[in-house]
């Protein structure tokens, strides 16, 4: 009975962590991306600064980690910290790739193209962590690829005013590359955590995120120093379309929002899997669409509607496939209760 109660408590705690991370990912992804796009729309042009803001909010993690350490005196193993540092380099590069989409694409287009991340995540999860790759997932990959293709073949009518077709195309293909890179990053994070064999709780999640975000921020800071971006911030702020005060406000709030997004995204990978994180990211596509139309006055044409439909269709296919796989596994467990010791198989939910 004690074992059953302990297991139930563990499952409930993990569910709460997953829900918390989903909320953080949703708030950060929608708010952070809108603020980053506003930076470019009103006169900002530093892509490395945009990449820098993705993880520059990592100091907000220090206080909860310090409080937790004072209580538990726990630090992640050195090998996990070193692996997290290498992943931080990959995340920094990924942030730079995404900055092209933020700079040159409307949010509605960038979010639809970025939904291809789920397809890449499924592929990498199959290759690296050996997760099941069903025909439902294949269907989702095809549908989301078609959605991106629809936008690619009809990009003429959605190019922002004053922007060249070449820059729009560059932003489009760099966003696809960023989706693939981020999918690889999340899958490698899941693989690393599995190899480390460290029980996942929020202390582990926060410390891993701190190392990853700090290294990614340093990765982006080096080219900013070389290019003199830090020294030129005051001039760019003075020329910003919404005024100097709003320039700093947008940059700071974007950094906080995007760090919240990173906390939620990495937390989902560590508490669940890279595929779950990819699914939640895809589920946010219509939310980003509506937010971009409301707050940035972006248009919503037939091509975007078709791409959104294909994206949601692919998402539903992938989600249904996971549901079917879970149901089949449960049926198998119910038919073979003898494989569990002391009848624990009957208590699985």
Tell me: the pLDDT tens digits for 150-194?
766 665 556 777 778 889 889 989 999 999 999 999 999 989 988
pLDDT at 340: 41
pLDDT at 349: 30
Q: What is the DSSP string of 163-213?
A: --HHHHHHHHHHHHHHHHHHHHHHHHHHHHHHHHT----HHHHHHHHHHHH
Per-residue model confidence as pLDDT tens digits over 236-247: 999 999 999 999
Per-residue model confidence as pLDDT tens digits over 270-282: 887 787 787 788 7
pLDDT at 332: 67
Contacts of 124 (CB under 8 A, 6+ apart): 183, 184, 186, 187, 274
Per-residue model confidence as pLDDT tens digits over 68-108: 888 888 888 999 999 999 999 999 999 999 999 999 988 87
Checking if the pLDDT of 339 tops 50, the result is no
pLDDT at 345: 39
Checking if the pLDDT of 341 tops 50, the result is no
Checking if the pLDDT of 309 tops 90, the result is no
> Are 293 and 305 contacting, i.e. CB atoms less than 8 angstroms apart?
no
> Are 311 and 112 contacting, i.e. CB atoms less than 8 angstroms apart?
yes
Checking if the pLDDT of 146 tops 90, the result is no
pLDDT at 91: 96
Measured distance between the N- and C-terminal CA atoms of the chain, rounded to whole angstroms: 16
Checking if the pLDDT of 112 tops 80, the result is no
Give the gyration radius of the chain's Cα atoms. Answer: 21
Q: What distance in Å separates the CA atoms of residue 209 and residue 212, rounded to the nearest whole number?
A: 5
Checking if the pLDDT of 292 tops 80, the result is yes
Q: How many helices (H) and strands (E) are present in the chain, helices listed first? A: 14, 0
Split at pLDDT 50, 70, 90, the class of 8 is low
Domain segments of the chain as ranges: 2-347
pLDDT at 333: 59
pLDDT at 284: 81
**Comparing C-alpha atoms, which of 77, 29, 59 is closest to residue 203?**
77
Contacts of 77 (CB under 8 A, 6+ apart): 196, 198
Q: What distance in Å separates the CA atoms of residue 263 and residue 205, rounded to the nearest whole number?
A: 8
Q: What distance in Å separates the CA atoms of residue 87 and residue 102, rounded to the nearest whole number?
A: 22
pLDDT at 141: 72
**Comparing C-alpha atoms, which of 89, 96, 109, 226 is closest to residue 159?**
109
Q: What distance in Å separates the CA atoms of residue 117 and residue 103, rounded to the nearest whole number?
A: 19
Split at pLDDT 50, 70, 90, the class of 224 is very high
46 or 276: which carries more pLDDT confidence?
46
> Are 282 and 115 contacting, i.e. CB atoms less than 8 angstroms apart?
yes
Instruction: State the burial class of residue 346 (Cβ atoms within 10 Å of its Cβ: 0-12, 13-18, 19+).
Output: exposed
Q: What is the DSSP string of 89-112?
A: HHHHHHHHHHHHHHHHS-HHHHHH
177 or 310: which carries more pLDDT confidence?
177
Instruction: State the burial class of residue 299 (Cβ atoms within 10 Å of its Cβ: 0-12, 13-18, 19+).
Output: exposed
Query: Considering the chain, what is the average pLDDT of its residues?
Result: 83
Q: How far is C-alpha 106 from the geometric centre of its chain's CA atoms?
A: 18
Q: How far is C-alpha 145 from the geometric centre of its chain's CA atoms?
A: 19
pLDDT-wise least confident of 10-19, 155-164, 236-245, 258-267: 155-164
Helix locations, 42-106, DSSP H: 47-55, 62-72, 78-104
């Amino acid at each position: 009975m004690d074992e059953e109660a302990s297991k139930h408590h563990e499952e409930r705690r993990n569910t709460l962590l997953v829900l918390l991370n989903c909320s953080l990912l949703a708030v950060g992804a929608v708010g952070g991306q809108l603020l980053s796009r506003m930076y470019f729309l009103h006169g900002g042009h530093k892509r490395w600064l945009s990449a820098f803001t993705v993880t520059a909010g990592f100091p907000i993690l220090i206080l909860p980690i310090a409080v937790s350490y004072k209580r538990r005196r726990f630090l992640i193993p050195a090998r996990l910290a070193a692996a997290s540092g290498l992943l931080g380099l990959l995340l920094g590069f990924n942030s730079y790739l995404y900055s092209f989409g933020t700079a040159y694409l409307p949010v509605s287009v960038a979010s639809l193209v970025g939904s291809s991340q789920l397809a890449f995540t499924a592929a990498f999860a199959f290759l690296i962590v050996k997760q099941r790759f069903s025909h439902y997932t294949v269907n989702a990959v095809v549908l989301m690829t078609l959605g991106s293709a629809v936008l690619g073949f009809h990009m003429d009518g959605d190019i922002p005013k004053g922007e060249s077709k070449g820059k729009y195309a560059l932003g489009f293909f760099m966003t696809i590359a960023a989706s693939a890179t981020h999918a690889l990053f999340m899958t490698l994070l899941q693989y690393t955590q599995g190899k480390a064999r460290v029980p996942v709780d929020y202390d582990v999640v926060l410390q891993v995120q701190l190392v990853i975000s700090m290294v990614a921020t340093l990765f982006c800071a080096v080219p900013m120093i070389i290019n003199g971006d830090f020294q030129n911030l005051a001039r760019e702020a003075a020329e910003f379309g919404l005024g100097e005060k709003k320039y700093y406000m947008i940059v700071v709030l974007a950094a906080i929002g995007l760090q919240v997004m990173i906390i939620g995204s990495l937390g989902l990978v560590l508490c669940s899997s890279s595929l779950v994180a990819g699914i939640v990211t895809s589920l946010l596509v219509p939310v980003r669409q509506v937010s971009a139309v409301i707050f940035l006055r972006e248009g919503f044409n037939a091509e975007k509607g078709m791409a959104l439909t294909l994206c949601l269709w692919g998402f539903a296919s992938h989600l249904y496939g996971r549901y079917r796989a879970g149901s089949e596994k449960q049926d198998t467990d119910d038919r073979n209760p003898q494989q569990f010791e002391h009848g624990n198989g009957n208590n699985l939910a």
